[in-house]
């Protein structure tokens, strides 16, 4: 009987790396092929009979199953592109920009088919890769960071397995939450402001946020103003106008000088350069940390914000 390389057989079948060599893949690249095929099998099991609601559910603010699967597909494609010595196309950059946005039109079957196709393309590229090229230099990203063919291929396999593992963990979280009847998320964070207009000028006009809701609350003499960063996916900001001396004293200092808000982005340098050009004051220069790229800026009142691109959102 014909069977896909590394495909799942009965439950007692060992993991892919213990099933022998993958046809046509150079010996030094067998671990990469084994890892990718193992990830494919785990995604296939994960997505079996999974509802669209579960796929895009983000428990306790964690990334959804759908995000991890889509990001694994996209990053595998990007890393293998760099391994070929090519730069990313406009289509690939567009996919990267949209990866963090939930696409509830995609079903479990859609994601499984897309993941399968990505792994097939990757295995085909491994078959076409000569071991003599493994130490050849390659550049990564706009900054053209140094790597090698082998470094990119092995990192792609590790990165794929990491996100598949995170998807499996998220699946367990959503399963436990459903069993316990739990469905919670942090919806709004209050930002104490002096004036609605000036706060909106900064958040919408300078940072590029959008107004989600803006309505009068006559009984309390205030407005209910909610804004969200582009793309959303996390908690929104409720603009709370200070209406008493003790509240006014907190404008610009809600956390006693600590960083108050953390703005995640899929492209740190795009936003850093845009904000700088619009007059946003950064009080700490950009730094590469183990978790990603980060810099600290001040809002119009002096509250400290982190602008962060997490490593899990980079190609």
pLDDT in tens, 35-50: 999 999 999 999 998 8
| Backbone CA torsion sign across 91, 93, 94, 95 | positive
Percentage above 90 pLDDT, the chain: 69
Pairing, β 281-289 against β 222-228: unpaired
pLDDT tens readout for residues 209-219: 999 888 888 77
CA distance 28 to 19: 16
Percent of the chain with pLDDT over 70: 90
Q: How far is CA 168 from CA 54, 69, 218, in A?
A: 12, 10, 48
The C-alpha angle with vertex 30 and arms to 28 and 34, in degrees rounded to 5, equals: 155
Q: What is the DSSP string of 104-132?
A: TT--HHHHHHHHHHHHHHHHHHHHT--GG
pLDDT band at 58 (very low <50, low <70, confident <90, very high): confident
Amino acid 178: pLDDT: 63
pLDDT of 6 strictly over 70: no
Q: In this predicted structure, what is the pLDDT of residue 179? A: 64
pLDDT at position 1, please? 42
Alpha helices in the chain (DSSP H): 30-47, 52-56, 65-83, 90-98, 108-127, 149-179, 196-200, 245-248, 268-277
> Is residue 8 very low, low, confident or very high in pLDDT (cuts 50, 70, 90)?
low
Nearest to 315 by CA among 134, 112, 147: 147
Q: What is the pLDDT of residue 233?
A: 66
How crowded is residue 275: how many other Cβ atoms within 10 Å of its Cβ? Answer: 20
pLDDT in tens, 181-234: 666 677 889 999 999 999 999 999 999 999 988 888 877 788 999 999 987 667
> pLDDT value at position 136?
97
Task: List the 292-298 sheet strands across, edge first.
Answer: 259-264, 304-310, 292-298, 281-289
pLDDT on residue 308: 95
Residue 314's pLDDT is what?
47
Is the confidence at residue 93, as pLDDT, over 60?
yes
pLDDT of 59 over the 80 cut: no
At 66 the pLDDT is: 93
Handedness of CA 105, 107, 110, 115 (dihedral sign): positive
> What are the pLDDT digits (tens) for 95-150?
888 887 788 889 999 999 999 999 999 999 999 999 999 999 999 988 889 999 99
Mean pLDDT of the chain: 89
Average pLDDT over residues 236-257: 93
Q: What are phi and psi of 220, to 5 degrees?
A: -110, 5
Reported as a pLDDT band with limits 50, 70 and 90, residue 4 is: low
pLDDT reported for residue 2: 47
Mean pLDDT of 264-277: 95
pLDDT in tens, 291-313: 899 999 999 999 999 999 998 64
In this predicted structure, the answer to whether residue 3 has a pLDDT above a threshold of 80 is no
Structural domains of the chain ordered from first start: 19-179 (1.20.120.450), 186-251 (3.10.180.10), 257-315 (3.10.180.10)
Kindly give, in sequence order, each residue whose CB lies less than 8 Å from that of residue 35, ignoring residues fewer than 6 positions away: 16, 17, 157, 158, 160, 161
Is 297:278 a contact under the CB 8 Å cutoff?
Answer: no
107 burial via Cβ count (<10 Å: 0-12, 13-18, 19+) = middle
């Amino acid at each position: 009987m014909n069977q896909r390389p590394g495909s799942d057989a009965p439950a007692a079948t060992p993991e892919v790396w213990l099933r022998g060599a993958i046809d046509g893949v150079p010996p030094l690249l067998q671990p990469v092929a084994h890892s990718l095929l193992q990830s494919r099998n785990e995604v296939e099991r994960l997505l079996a009979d999974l509802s669209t609601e579960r796929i895009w559910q983000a428990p306790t603010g964690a990334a959804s199953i759908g995000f991890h699967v889509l990001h694994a597909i996209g990053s595998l494609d990007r890393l293998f592109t760099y391994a070929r010595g090519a730069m990313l196309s406009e289509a690939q950059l567009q996919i990267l920009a949209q990866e963090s946005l939930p696409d509830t039109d995609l079903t479990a079957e859609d994601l499984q088919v897309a993941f399968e196709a990505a792994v097939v393309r990757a295995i085909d590229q491994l078959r076409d890769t000569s071991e003599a090229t493994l130490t050849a230099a390659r550049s990564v990203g706009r900054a053209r960071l140094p790597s090698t063919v082998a470094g990119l291929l092995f990192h792609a396999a590790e990165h794929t397995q990491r996100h598949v593992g995170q998807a499996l963990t998220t699946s367990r979280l959503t399963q436990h939450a459903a069993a316990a009847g739990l469905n919670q998320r942090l919806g709004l964070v209050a930002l104490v402001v002096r004036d609605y207009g000036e706060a909106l000028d900064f958040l919408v006009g300078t940072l590029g946020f959008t107004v989600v809701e803006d309505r009068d609350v006559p009984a309390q003499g205030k407005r209910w103003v909610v804004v969200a960063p582009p793309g959303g996916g996390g908690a929104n900001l409720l603009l709370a106008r200070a209406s008493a001396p003790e509240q006014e004293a907190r404008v610009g200092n809600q956390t006693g000088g600590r960083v108050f808000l953390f703005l995640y982005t899929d492209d740190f340098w795009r936003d850093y350069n845009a904000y700088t050009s619009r007059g946003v004051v950064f009080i700490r220069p950009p730094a590469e940390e183990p978790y990603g790229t980060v810099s600290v800026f001040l809002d119009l009142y002096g509250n400290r914000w982190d602008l962060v691109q997490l490593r899990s959102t980079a190609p």
